[in-house]
């Protein structure tokens, strides 16, 4: 299924065609493809060049996958099981100097932006999720103090059959993509009244 964005201004085709499906083709994602995604993330810009992002990934047939799936929000559990790979994202809370890294989440976002565009260029879809029990996952995976699990990301190839989803999710999957109007997001020289 193709769901191109209806943009106000022309944008790069990779951005225009990127979307977050809840169903994926039944095609495994190779180790090389996974590491290509992480290589793209590795080269994102970061404050002080400290690259505060970290990742844990699991393939569908692994115990780690089952653990991650079990600790996602119930809403996400009903569709994520279709994804060949799940990634947990995390960030380092402080710079190497010990000072709080206020920009770490921004930097993780840039890394995930790189990863998402690399995925799109490879025919892979990514679906980011905030619904997870990060505290429990942090404990299970022995994440050291000073790091914070942030999101989960489903990864797989486009081309899944939306009819395998529950009815409400199938409807959402087939619906056109939407965004807030551009003039509500950016304004020259002043704050936009909300």
- What pLDDT is stored for residue 1 in this prediction? 80
Partnered with residue 85 across adjacent β-strands are 59, 155
In this structure, how many other beta carbons lie within 10 angstroms of the beta carbon of residue 120?
20
Could you tell me if 93 and 62 are in contact, meaning their C-beta atoms sit under 8 angstroms apart?
A: no
Could you tell me if 175 and 115 are in contact, meaning their C-beta atoms sit under 8 angstroms apart?
A: no
pLDDT tens, position by position, 112-126: 999 999 999 999 999
- What pLDDT is stored for residue 194 in this prediction? 80
Residue 74 has φ and ψ, to the nearest 5°, of -55, -40
CATH homologous superfamily, domain 20-162: NADH Oxidase (3.40.109.10)
- The domain limits of the chain are 20-162
Rounded CA separation 115/78 (Å):
24
- What pLDDT is stored for residue 2 in this prediction? 84
Buried/exposed code over 49-67 (b: 16+ C-beta within 10 A; e: otherwise): ebbbbbbbbbbbeeeebee
Prediction pTM value? 0.95
User: Which residues of the chain, if any, have pLDDT below 50?
Assistant: none
H helix runs in the chain, sequence order: 13-17, 31-42, 63-70, 74-80, 104-121, 134-140, 167-174
Biggest CA-to-CA distance, the chain? 52
Nearest residue to 41 (alpha-carbon basis) of 89, 100, 83, 86:
89
- What pLDDT is stored for residue 18 in this prediction? 96
């Amino acid at each position: 299924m193709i769901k191109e964005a209806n943009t106000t201004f022309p944008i790069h085709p990779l951005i225009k065609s990127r979307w977050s499906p809840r169903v994926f083709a039944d095609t495994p994602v190779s180790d090389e493809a996974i590491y290509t995604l992480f290589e793209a993330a590795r080269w994102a810009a970061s404050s002080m060049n400290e690259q505060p992002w970290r990742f844990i990934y699991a393939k569908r047939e692994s115990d780690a996958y089952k653990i991650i799936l079990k600790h996602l929000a119930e809403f996400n559990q009903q569709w994520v099981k279709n994804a060949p790979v799940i990634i947990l994202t995390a960030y380092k809370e402080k710079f190497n100097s010990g000072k709080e890294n206020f920009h770490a989440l921004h930097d993780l976002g840039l890394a995930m932006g790189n990863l998402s565009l690399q995925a799109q260029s490879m025919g892979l879809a990514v679906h980011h999720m905030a619904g997870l029990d990060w505290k429990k996952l942090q404990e299970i995976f022995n994440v050291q103090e000073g790091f914070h699990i942030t999101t989960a990301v489903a990864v797989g190839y486009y081309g899944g059959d939306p009819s395998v989803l529950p009815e409400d999710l199938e409807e959402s999957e087939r619906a056109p993509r939407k965004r807030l109007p551009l003039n509500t997001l950016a304004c020259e020289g002043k704050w936009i009244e909300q």
